Structure 1
Amino acid sequence: MTDVLLEIHTAVLNGMATSPRHFAKSAELVAEDDFAGTDLSEEAFRARLTEDGLHGGALTALWSRTLTSWDFAENPRWSTDTEPRTEERRTAAYDRLRLGDDLRKALDAAVPVARTAGAVVIAREHTPWYTPERAASRSFYWRAYEAKLRGKGWTEAAIASLDEASRAVVERLTDPEQASPRQTKGLVVGYVQSGKTANFTGVAAKAIDAGYRLVIVLGGTLNLLRAQTQRRLDMELVGQENILGSADPEDVDTLVGIDYVGDDADWDDFVKHGGRPSVLGAFDIERLTTREKDYKSLERGIRVLEVEKREQTLPLHDPANLHRAAARIMVVKKNKAVLTKLVKDLKQIRSILGELPTLIIDDESDQASVNTTDPKKWEKGSTERTAINGLISQLLGLLPRAQYVGYTATPFANVFIDPGDAEDIFPSDFLISLPRPEGYVGVQDFHDLESPLDPSERTIANSQLEAHVRGIWDHTGDRLQEAMDSFLLTGALKLYRADRGVPEGPFRHHTMLVHQSVRTDDHAELALRINTMWHQAGYASSDGHARLADLWAADFSPVSEARAADLPNPAGYDELRPYISRAKQLIGKGGSPVVVVNGDTDRYFEQLDLDFDRTPHVWKILVGGTKLSRGFTVEGLTVTYYRRMTRQADTLMQMGRWFGFRPGYRDLVRLYIGREEPMTRTTTADLYEAFEAICRDEEVFREQLAQYAVLVDGKPQVVPAQIPPLVAQHLSWVKPSARNKMFNAELVEIRSPGRPIEPAAYPRDARALERNTERWRPVLHAFTSQSTSFTLPPGGPAGSGRPLPALTARVGHAELLAVLSGLEWEHEGYFQPHLRYLAQLDGRLATVEDWLLIAPQHSQSSRIEASVAGSVPMSLARRSRQEGKSSFSRIAGVEHQLLAKGLIDAAADPAEADGAVGPRTGVALVYPVVEGKTEADVQDAVSRGEADPSKVVMAFTLIPPRTATDSTRRLLRFQAKDSRHGDSAIVEAPAL
């Protein structure tokens, strides 16, 4: 039966692709010939929307696509004064459609305005070429991809968001039709397991439509990962007709050996174009790699390209040739042998390369691609590169029209690449931060960041930690058995939900991850332990069921009730019990519930049968190390038992395999992680804190990108090569990246609220020491001759109750900062990161009013006193430098530092503050130090009661008040050095 109303609305809205117009008039014009008499009233429209709301009808879907496209449009001519994804933009569309108030309300209810954030872009100015008109005129592969996503159940808002984000990348590439060659380099920053592949598939589709004729995807370091990327592109972009080529899909004999045909259960889900694209007025895509075969030879592809030049006198990039030529795609592993073969072949056909618009997509671009050789070891005037980085540089050198786009969720290593190295992959043209996708489960979903609630008030309903995070230990010991019980329970709950109408697709795979060591011997031992525990768990016994029932009642039932009331949940364990046996059978299939994942070779992974794309069901406990920490998506991951510590933020973040999309079982996700492990056991006590810190690092980075992405007078505030220090570190022992990826990083700020600042690399030069002592003169004169007796706070070392005598002074923050700013150090810039922080404590970052200076006095029997730069007599301290180094081994005594820290901590608590130190007062321990090993060395530095300023090191330890910070709570910031400016760091952009 013909849906007349749908046909009329489709015809009308198709005619409004670029802008909304008077809807009623347009509908009457469409209806007057073939659909006369159709009820076109707004009442009939509203009634249909109500009916569609009950059945998910096509008319609502049509309006959802149209309204969402208008909501997301960038600077549309019909509404230049409204921002995308706002009520104002939607109202502007309604006004042009001339819709009544009741219909507007009905449409808003059916298609709410998407509140998703847009991509954040920091980029150099570029010549606009990828206009909406040009994008719409050549969109064959993008439209096919868009339809594929819609068929997979993507919402219109999610598709529009991807459309917007992928357009942001493509429009900053060079126009493929441009006469003069030009390369661009960019970086796209997503979230761990957040759909970066979807974005670069969209970018590839649009770039190919626009005229890019060679796409090289660098896809992982293992063939399993490369093959996953190949299959994804083949399924959602290349499509059946291009894969089949000249083969007849009805002739079995011609299909032999063709990828996916006959051995991939999802073959019918591959994109269908309705015929060979070249026959349909578009162009074909030829694959130069397949699911099973990495790059072998480019010879045939280039010869075809040469033949396809319709106008031989014109270059390939001329529109007369470009849009008739087939595109080539290859998905290449980041492997030295493979890339060397590619580079070698390209050198042999160099003549065509200058005409070939090429897109290089580097997946996980901070892995293997970054140069990790130490610049200090390079020969003068030369750059030494690691293998993969060098081969990528060669590719860029051979392809003058190549555009390089790196993708990563952990961009810190990429940001630290030298912007002045023209042959490297620093994203000199653009840096794009993708929005957090709808439905994504990330770090924020396991931490209560900035929660205003007191920990005692947090519940499973208002706390992510209470709902999803469990400790490794409890009063009975290790909770590994409980984690395994949770895995079985959640498997049964998935089966229960599948039987009650929740789509089974999300439950195809069900996995648990156990990750506590990088050592392969540990993996084998742990797998044996888990296998033994599984078979001894008594899951078929009454005791086993009682244990599961208790866990369900205490944990999963209340969490699901609070967080997933709209999903089917059993009323009691007895209702769930029949599914336990089936879940146990699926997990234990093959005799063991465990799969160890720790190999280094492609052959090893092929034997595991862990290809989540091709294996119908994977219900297993995965035990492994680094091979589970990057690129390897663990599908269906529901329970994680995590104990492995690392001190690099990007490595730690990539280990978060529990991030991703969890449709239909988000409430069931559990993370067992080191939180309250007894100190007598091995180290996981700070692991949860580490993840929270790197979450803050990531958010600060994204927030500052957004701040500097705002255009001022239509111009960018900064370009990528001028990005100010954006990489923050909130936990001092978790660095942004590995040391060999931070050779070009410079620490520019160290924040120490409530923490000691104790520099130790004082100058050795006598004249520098004398100048430093003289700079301290104004502050030293503030010390009084009256000694103050301090008492160490409770909890100190043995004998802490004894008095600690000291001279004291109180000086303003500006006065102390003036002294510190003028000091000389053994290494230039050594104290600068601390000084940058202290300089902000004048009200910009926080307000520090004054400092209590404490000069500890030795006991009378061992005290050697002298006036320093005209001060009252002060007790001289004796310290020694570390052997072979310029730094002293320590400055402040343990008792003295505990005293200063106790004063700062007490000031932060109004109940304990005694008035000596307020919440805006810092404490400084001051030591006139004489370098030496005996008291005679100290005596030699004193003459007639005066200390020789050339022999005195004015050493100190500062502890700023705990209030001396901001809401970000970051501790460190880094920036990259630019070789074009010598050893100087990148100049900061002016703040907003």
Structure 2
Amino acid sequence: MTHTQSGVLLDIHTSALAGMGSMPRHFERWAALAADDHHPDADLSEELFRSLLVDGDDALAALWSRHLTAWDFAEDPQWGAGSQARTDERRAVVYERLRFGTGLRKVLDEVVPVAQMPGATVITRDFTPWYTAERAAARSFYWTAYEQKLRDKGWPDAAIASLDQASRAVVERLTDPEQPSARQAKGLVVGYVQSGKTANFTGVAAKAIDAGYRLVIVLGGTLNLLRAQTQRRLDMELIGQENILRGADVMDIDSLVGVDYVGDDEDWPEFVRHGGRPSTLGAFDIERLTTRDNDYKSLSQGIRALEFEKRVPTRPLHDPANLHHAAARILVVKKNKAVLTKLVKDLKQIHGILGELPALIIDDESDQASVNTSDPKKWERGSTERTAINGLISKLLGLLPRAQYVGYTATPFANVFIDPGDDMDIFPSNFLISLPRPAGYMGVQDFHDLDSPVPVEERTYANSQEKAHVRGIYESTGDRLQEAMDAFVLSGALKLYRADHGVPDAAFRHHTMLAHESVRQDDHADLALRINSMWHQAGYSSAVGHARLAALWEADFAPVSSAQASGLPSPPSYDELRPYVHSARQRIGSGGQPVIVVNGDTDRYFDQLDLDFDRTPNVWKILVGGTKLSRGFTVEGLTVTYYRRTTQQADTLMQMGRWFGFRPGYRDLVRLYIGREEPFGRDKFVDLYEAYEAVCRDEETFREQLAQYAVLVDGQPQVAPAQIPPLVAQHLPWLKPSARNKMFNAELVEIRSPGRPIEPASYPLNSAVTKRNTERWRPLLHALNTTPVAFSNPPDNSSTLTRTFTALTGIVTHGELLSVLSQLEWDRPRYFDPHLAYLRQLDGTLAQVDDWLLVSPRLTSDKRVDASVLGSAPLSLVRRSIQAGKSSFGRIASVEHRTAAQRLIDKAATGGSTQIGSGTGVALVYPVVEGSSFGSVQSAVHNGTADSSKIVMAFTLIPPRSAASGDRRLVRFRAKNSRFMDDATVPITASP
């Protein structure tokens, strides 16, 4: 087929797909209609279509990738026949509607595989649907431009479709900007640390202004630098050149006075171009009331800048006749009392129109300028700055009755969410949206072997994220600072090598290392001086220095890159890399200063640093800092992190996770040097790595809970946003409404877990209580047989080997188990009650559970300690540590044990188990000694008998799948005060 014929077919397919609108239809008919006028003789056969795809017609493949992916991601479309988004079943529905044959389906699946990734999790109150696919398609000027910009930046179709759906989930829960009555909606969007939240709220802003929102206020950080970065991002990817120029001629210097970017920003050519002023193209203009260099100021041209002209003066602004012809205004303002006070003052001078104005307030880092949730005492005291900012946001909401508030955060436990008592005006009472982990993102799963079934001794650079990226700093290994700096130089050389061998070098523009040892500014100066001295003594141009780098290359970087990034160019030897080491050293040491200290929190401080990653061509430096780097300020190109604390402090763990983010082209080069506790040590230091993992597990568990409870039952939500705080309190017990005269109104009554693990972790460590709890386990411990039973897990994606372990087992009735669980005391009163409420119904009220298989696993470690507990057969004692800053353990059951137990439950549900019946649950039982050192276990045993005051009998229960209710609800709440059903908090003194 000729190139011209291929182009003709592409035109026909493009027209046919465009004609279908938002749903797949009989493709042959639509293609025939598209070809009829100009190409009546075109070959529209599936055979030709299939052969072009097989031969690598990129344009045709790209066209179908966009449309198939969009249909794959569509949430609950009317044409979807009940299929779930991003599944093979959905794709099959699409093919059926297109009437495609088997051969073409197979080729399309190979060219455009289904992106089987999770969607956004939405916890919501009921809302009136208004943002339909048809309405979104009818007005999509700025969203279409933004979508194309992302495609030009190299975003894959699946990532764009995911953003499309996630941003739609926000916009559709806002109020219809055209509706006659005024109503506010408030929500929270939870992303991951440095995972692209800005992209989401840019998409939300694009869709919102297309839909009719005419005032958008973005609260963009507490520093001018951060505010300017947000402004630039919106200007570049959403607002565009024509709106910035406002008619100015780029060739006329005089007309460019006061216009930012032109002439001083090398990326100006990359700013979105609409092809003309949007108002001349059938859309509407966007007027900026802030610029890159200027935050909001009292309007020099008077209040007219905020006046909205009406095409039909007798109708309100929100009437469609006026709304879609009015220009939109966008402000990106700093979260600063003086700035927000000016804005509030100016808005107060506008009379009448504010009640008609659909407005959107986007609060980036919505828990910033607020208390530190890792410090309960500070949290309880409150914060003057937080009160001032929240008060001004509340005033904005009061002045704008049609304003919608959407907060963005990377912390699921953000106090703006969990602390509704602090300021009810911005509590996300309407929706909470948890964004999915985006493709290409390096997060906790990429630095920790969470739930990996691969035994520690079998882990390699290929199957272990910890081995690939984490380098522990132990007392016995020294501080490893020189090695970390060598890794920084070496990884920089590898980036330059890759840029020279075909890898786009845009991702390598910046190259940074972060060193953090203390929160004290004096310590930062000392560390910076030390690193400077080490740099000048490192000898990177000497034989000694090259020998050291060559050894690190051979032992570390070469094997990791081979295992993790075999598709990227890699030098065959260090000699090939050596010239690039010289270039990397020159870049890092430019100006004679390889180190920059970043520990201030004022605009003046950051101005003198000259550390603007957007406007500086190349930042190749080692940054030394503390908590000032922890919020909002993104360290671009971060490749090596040196994070070491020498005390028991663990207060900034989540905020200091700067090693998370997107690392295109160099994720295999990322290294985390982090403080570790010596194996079997004396608990002298906090194991920062394990502490961080524990905090991240809490977050992931909470996200999993949200996803589980977000499933609609009979079309209704199981959980409303106001009912989430009690779930959060399961993880962080000290959280409570800050106002002492308020309490959470929602009380968690029951958690149902058919076929799912129940694993409490908040055990009391008081020796007297521990001893009482252990004594209560006596009848169950004596039910364990003395002969070990073998369990196995077959090979899977993580291991080609069958993994086995042995355990003591026994069968007890449901009543016997429930009798013990009902007597247990917990670190927090009523902590286990929601689970007990469920378990008590499994005697036939909710579903019948006959009995439980007790499983007490035996450890295989050489350091294993077996001991009798209250006269039982010898049991393997296990070590578990209390999470840093909390009162609970991390995970109790090991991955292999829980996997085996889950397999028993799953097989029993389908009648495939010979070990247990469909009415039997599994209880993993562990005699736990608190502490991370081997000595703590030894001290709990005397003459083969465990001291019951030092043994915490911990457990994980997996009820049978049959233990489910007919209504399929997994949680049940009750309101403490029924007069305030929709309120997150109520006055303690309020009578029911």
Q: TM-score range by the shorter chain?
A: 0.7 to 0.9
Q: In the TM superposition, what are the counterparts of 1:77-92 in structure 2 within 5 Å?
A: 77-92=78-93
Using the TM superposition, give the Cα deviation of residue 247 of structure 1 relative to its aligned residue in structure 2, in angstroms. Answer: 1.1
Q: In the alignment, which of 2, 7, 17 is matched to residue 13 of structure 1? A: 17
Using the TM superposition, give the Cα deviation of residue 8 of structure 1 relative to its aligned residue in structure 2, in angstroms. Answer: 1.6
For residues 26 and 753 of structure 1, do their structure 2 counterparts lie closer, same or farther at Cα, with a shift above 3 Å needed?
closer
Matching residue's letter, 1:45: F
Q: CA–CA distance in 1 between the matches of 2:356 and 2:77?
A: 34
For residues 108 and 331 of structure 1, do their structure 2 counterparts lie closer, same or farther at Cα, with a shift above 3 Å needed?
same
For residues 117 and 298 of structure 1, do their structure 2 counterparts lie closer, same or farther at Cα, with a shift above 3 Å needed?
farther
Equivalent residue, structure 1, for 2:49: 45
For residues 40 and 922 of structure 1, do their structure 2 counterparts lie closer, same or farther at Cα, with a shift above 3 Å needed?
closer
Equivalent residue, structure 2, for 1:572: 573
Using the TM superposition, give the Cα deviation of residue 907 of structure 1 relative to its aligned residue in structure 2, in angstroms. Answer: 2.6
Greater displacement, 124-133 / 32-41 = 32-41
For residues 343 and 30 of structure 1, do their structure 2 counterparts lie closer, same or farther at Cα, with a shift above 3 Å needed?
closer
SS in 2 for 1:725: helix
SS in 1 for 2:117: coil
SS in 2 for 1:63: helix
For residues 585 and 552 of structure 1, do their structure 2 counterparts lie closer, same or farther at Cα, with a shift above 3 Å needed?
same
Equivalent residue, structure 2, for 1:446: 447
For residues 180 and 22 of structure 1, do their structure 2 counterparts lie closer, same or farther at Cα, with a shift above 3 Å needed?
closer
Q: In the alignment, which of 742, 758, 761 is matched to residue 766 of structure 2? A: 758
Equivalent residue, structure 1, for 2:955: 963
Matching residue's letter, 2:469: H
Q: CA–CA distance in 2 between the matches of 1:377 and 1:519?
A: 24
Contact 2:22 2:134 in 1 (8 A): no
Equivalent residue, structure 2, for 1:797: none
Q: CA–CA distance in 2 between the matches of 1:591 and 1:365?
A: 39
Q: In the TM superposition, what are the counterparts of 1:128-147 in structure 2 within 5 Å?
A: 128-147=129-148
Contact 1:416 1:976 in 2 (8 A): no
Equivalent residue, structure 2, for 1:465: 466
Percent of residue pairs bearing the same amino acid type: 68
Matching residue's letter, 1:51: D
Q: CA–CA distance in 2 between the matches of 1:434 and 1:41?
A: 41
Equivalent residue, structure 2, for 1:662: 663
For residues 79 and 682 of structure 1, do their structure 2 counterparts lie closer, same or farther at Cα, with a shift above 3 Å needed?
closer
Q: CA–CA distance in 2 between the matches of 1:78 and 1:754?
A: 47
Contact 1:753 1:965 in 2 (8 A): no
For residues 220 and 498 of structure 1, do their structure 2 counterparts lie closer, same or farther at Cα, with a shift above 3 Å needed?
same
Equivalent residue, structure 1, for 2:405: 404
Residue 185, structure 1, aligned to residue 176, structure 2: no
Contact 1:343 1:391 in 2 (8 A): yes
Equivalent residue, structure 1, for 2:115: 114
Contact 2:366 2:416 in 1 (8 A): no
For residues 399 and 684 of structure 1, do their structure 2 counterparts lie closer, same or farther at Cα, with a shift above 3 Å needed?
farther
Q: CA–CA distance in 1 between the matches of 2:475 and 2:381?
A: 52
SS in 1 for 2:20: coil
Residue 833, structure 1, aligned to residue 831, structure 2: yes
Using the TM superposition, give the Cα deviation of residue 559 of structure 1 relative to its aligned residue in structure 2, in angstroms. Answer: 0.5
Deviations 1:853-904 (A, max 9, x none): xxxxxxxxxxxxxxxxxxxxxxxxxxxxxxxxxxxxxxxxxxxxx9999999
Q: CA–CA distance in 1 between the matches of 2:380 and 2:721?
A: 27
TM-score, length-scaled by structure 1: 0.77
Using the TM superposition, give the Cα deviation of residue 751 of structure 1 relative to its aligned residue in structure 2, in angstroms. Answer: 7.8
Q: CA–CA distance in 2 between the matches of 1:552 and 1:377?
A: 50
Q: CA–CA distance in 1 between the matches of 2:853 and 2:37?
A: 79
Q: CA–CA distance in 1 between the matches of 2:609 and 2:324?
A: 43
Matching residue's letter, 1:716: P
Using the TM superposition, give the Cα deviation of residue 416 of structure 1 relative to its aligned residue in structure 2, in angstroms. Answer: 5.2
Using the TM superposition, give the Cα deviation of residue 376 of structure 1 relative to its aligned residue in structure 2, in angstroms. Answer: 12
SS in 1 for 2:393: helix
Q: CA–CA distance in 2 between the matches of 1:222 and 1:200?
A: 19
Equivalent residue, structure 1, for 2:26: 22
Matching residue's letter, 1:526: L
How many residue pairs align between the two structures? 840
Using the TM superposition, give the Cα deviation of residue 249 of structure 1 relative to its aligned residue in structure 2, in angstroms. Answer: 2.4
Equivalent residue, structure 2, for 1:771: none
Q: In the TM superposition, what are the counterparts of 1:724-803 in structure 2 within 5 Å?
A: 725-727=726-728, 756-758=764-766
- Structure 1, unmatched stretches of 5+, are 762-774, 783-810, 824-828, 852-897, 911-917, 925-955, 968-973, 988-992
Contact 1:244 1:258 in 2 (8 A): yes
Contact 1:907 1:919 in 2 (8 A): no
Equivalent residue, structure 1, for 2:876: 908
Using the TM superposition, give the Cα deviation of residue 607 of structure 1 relative to its aligned residue in structure 2, in angstroms. Answer: 1.7
SS in 2 for 1:963: strand
Matching residue's letter, 1:42: E
Using the TM superposition, give the Cα deviation of residue 413 of structure 1 relative to its aligned residue in structure 2, in angstroms. Answer: 3.0
For residues 482 and 748 of structure 1, do their structure 2 counterparts lie closer, same or farther at Cα, with a shift above 3 Å needed?
farther
Contact 2:926 2:953 in 1 (8 A): yes
Using the TM superposition, give the Cα deviation of residue 96 of structure 1 relative to its aligned residue in structure 2, in angstroms. Answer: 2.4
Q: CA–CA distance in 2 between the matches of 1:109 and 1:411?
A: 37
Q: CA–CA distance in 1 between the matches of 2:30 and 2:181?
A: 46
Using the TM superposition, give the Cα deviation of residue 401 of structure 1 relative to its aligned residue in structure 2, in angstroms. Answer: 0.9
Q: In the TM superposition, what are the counterparts of 1:539-938 in structure 2 within 5 Å?
A: 539-644=540-645, 651-676=652-677, 685-723=686-724, 725-727=726-728, 756-758=764-766, 831-833=829-831, 907-909=875-877
Residue 227, structure 1, aligned to residue 225, structure 2: no
Q: CA–CA distance in 1 between the matches of 2:215 and 2:762?
A: 56
For residues 374 and 454 of structure 1, do their structure 2 counterparts lie closer, same or farther at Cα, with a shift above 3 Å needed?
closer
For residues 31 and 367 of structure 1, do their structure 2 counterparts lie closer, same or farther at Cα, with a shift above 3 Å needed?
same
Equivalent residue, structure 2, for 1:367: 368
For residues 679 and 115 of structure 1, do their structure 2 counterparts lie closer, same or farther at Cα, with a shift above 3 Å needed?
closer
Using the TM superposition, give the Cα deviation of residue 269 of structure 1 relative to its aligned residue in structure 2, in angstroms. Answer: 0.4
For residues 135 and 472 of structure 1, do their structure 2 counterparts lie closer, same or farther at Cα, with a shift above 3 Å needed?
same
- Structure 2, unmatched stretches of 5+, are 750-757, 780-814, 843-848, 857-865, 879-922, 930-947, 960-972, 977-982
Matching residue's letter, 1:28: A
Q: CA–CA distance in 2 between the matches of 1:908 and 1:415?
A: 44
Q: CA–CA distance in 1 between the matches of 2:528 and 2:230?
A: 29
SS in 2 for 1:654: coil
Using the TM superposition, give the Cα deviation of residue 309 of structure 1 relative to its aligned residue in structure 2, in angstroms. Answer: 1.4
SS in 2 for 1:278: helix
Matching residue's letter, 2:766: E
Equivalent residue, structure 2, for 1:127: 128
Contact 1:369 1:389 in 2 (8 A): no
Equivalent residue, structure 1, for 2:259: 258
Contact 2:441 2:662 in 1 (8 A): yes
For residues 660 and 740 of structure 1, do their structure 2 counterparts lie closer, same or farther at Cα, with a shift above 3 Å needed?
farther
Contact 1:649 1:735 in 2 (8 A): no
Contact 2:390 2:423 in 1 (8 A): no
Q: CA–CA distance in 2 between the matches of 1:29 and 1:389?
A: 57
Q: Give the aligned CA root-mean-square deviation in angstroms.
A: 4.2
Contact 1:491 1:583 in 2 (8 A): yes
For residues 292 and 906 of structure 1, do their structure 2 counterparts lie closer, same or farther at Cα, with a shift above 3 Å needed?
farther
Matching residue's letter, 2:440: G
Q: CA–CA distance in 2 between the matches of 1:302 and 1:363?
A: 26
Using the TM superposition, give the Cα deviation of residue 820 of structure 1 relative to its aligned residue in structure 2, in angstroms. Answer: 6.8
Equivalent residue, structure 1, for 2:39: 35
Contact 2:139 2:211 in 1 (8 A): yes
Using the TM superposition, give the Cα deviation of residue 470 of structure 1 relative to its aligned residue in structure 2, in angstroms. Answer: 0.2
Q: CA–CA distance in 2 between the matches of 1:755 and 1:907?
A: 20
Equivalent residue, structure 2, for 1:878: none
Using the TM superposition, give the Cα deviation of residue 46 of structure 1 relative to its aligned residue in structure 2, in angstroms. Answer: 2.4
Deviations 1:684-739 (A, max 9, x none): 54100111111111111111111111111111112101226332777xxx888899
Using the TM superposition, give the Cα deviation of residue 306 of structure 1 relative to its aligned residue in structure 2, in angstroms. Answer: 3.4
Using the TM superposition, give the Cα deviation of residue 962 of structure 1 relative to its aligned residue in structure 2, in angstroms. Answer: 3.1
Q: CA–CA distance in 2 between the matches of 1:839 and 1:32?
A: 67
Matching residue's letter, 2:487: S
SS in 2 for 1:727: helix
Deviations 1:243-280 (A, max 9, x none): 00131223222113311010000000000010011111
